[in-house]
Amino acid sequence: MTSDASGSQHSGIRPIRLQQVQPDDWAAHRDIRLEMLQDAPDAFWFTYADEALFEEADWRSSIEGAWLVQAHDDTGVAGSAGLGSHWEPERAHTATLFGMYVAPRARGTGVGEALVRTVLDEARRRGKDRVVLEVADINPSAIALYERCGFVRTGLTHAHPRLTDSLEVEMEHVFPEAGAPDLGESSRPTSRSTRRRAKVDP
């Protein structure tokens, strides 16, 4: 999958190219992944120390285990995001947006929104009813981005894996054709299942 998207509605912003990541793209995936873990360490479950020791086989495996998309501009990879599915039968129609990152040089240019909407399009293509994500409550710019793309808070939170004064907030995007979701306690994921989802972050 390769497509073009306008980087921003503002004049002077270069267009971006959205491209699905394949195993042979492992080096580019490695570089942007390690960049995000250094630049925004508290936004991700795993750490730079966890993944800096990965070898080529590890990076290829992480790509094969998820659906990943990168945004490219004329200087290289400007951002990345992923879509994960769930093995539990009762959550077969739910997907997770994870690993969302925009390089500092591309922030405020529309790259983040393009990545999120591309992930949503892929989830809809796969027949999913809803997409969930987790974001730290101390990251208002990311929360605002997700809200612009149609995500709302579910009311579920859990402790941040490293920050004692922060919470991970769950948000969801329900596709209109899916109808009103069942938000009862029996269908709402527990904090344990939410933490397990965060570990999908490749």
pLDDT digits 0-9 by tens, 80-129: 999 998 777 777 899 999 999 999 999 999 999 999 999 999 999 999 99
Please calculate the CA angle 69-99-168 and round it to the nearest 5 degrees: 150
Pairwise pLDDT comparison (83 vs 15), residue with the higher score? 83
Cβ(40)–Cβ(101) under 8 Å?
yes
- Determine the Cα–Cα distance for residues 167 and 149; give it in Å rounded to an integer: 21
pLDDT exceeds 70 at position 1:
no
pLDDT of residue 3: 64
Question: DSSP assignment, residue 134?
Answer: E
Model pLDDT, residue 2: 59
Question: What's the burial of 140, exposed, middle or buried (CB within 10 Å: 0-12/13-18/19+)?
Answer: exposed
Distance CA 15, CA 73 (A): 7
Lowest-pLDDT range, 16-20, 40-44, 73-77, 196-200? Answer: 196-200
- Please check whether the domain covering 2-198 is classified as CATH 1.20.1630.10: no
Query: In degrees rounded to 5, what are phi and psi of residue 158?
Result: -155, 170
Interval 147-171: pLDDT, tens:
999 999 999 999 988 888 899 999 9
What residues does each domain of the chain span? 2-198
| 14 phi/psi in degrees, rounded to 5 | -70, 145
* Number of other CB atoms surrounding residue 77 within 10 Å: 21
Closest C-alpha among 66, 20, 40 to residue 135:
40
Q: Which residue has the tokens 């994870």?
A: 98
Helix (H) or strand (E) segment spanning residue 157: strand 152-159
Model pTM score: 0.81
Indicate the residue type of 101: Y
Mean pLDDT of the chain: 84
- Where do we find the tokens 């974001």? 135
Q: What order of strands is seen across the sheet that includes strand 2-5? A: 2-5, 16-20, 67-73, 76-85, 94-102, 130-136, 167-174, 152-159
Phi-psi region of 108 (alpha: psi -120 to 50; beta: other; left: phi over 0): left
